[in-house]
Amino acid sequence: MDEKKVNTTVRNISEDLVDMYLDECIINSGICDCEICRADVKAIALNNFPTHYVATEMGEALALARILNSQYQANIIISIMDAAGAVKEKPRHERK
């Protein structure tokens, strides 16, 4: 049984991409980069963006590569920047 087990996972590619671009977008938007604000930006961006699940047996890298050249990436960056804007307006903690 175990020998036949393949490493198949279902991943939300949107989340992988948000993770990939989160740092860049936070730096570009100039918002606070603390844990709270980062988590808020990620949550807002993901809520505003359709989930995109893929089943993959070869790891997330390949699945990501398939969509690397699509409009998808540009859209996710826009979502993150919008989310960063929202967090900038209303951070959950006091401004430094």
Q: Residue numbers of the site for Zn ion (CB under 5 A)? A: 32, 34, 37
Query: Least separation, in Å, of the C-beta of 29 and Zn ion?
Result: 12
Query: Least separation, in Å, of the C-beta of 76 and Zn ion?
Result: 22
Query: Least separation, in Å, of the C-beta of 96 and Zn ion?
Result: 8
Q: Residue 52 — left, alpha, or beta (φ > 0 → left; ψ -120 to 50 → alpha)?
A: beta
Specify the residue, 2 or 35, whose C-beta has the smaller distance to Zn ion.
35
DSSP state of 11: E
Specify the residue, 13 or 45, whose C-beta has the smaller distance to Zn ion.
45
- Give the Cα separation of 2 and 55 in Å (integer): 20
86, 47 contact by CB (below 8 A): no
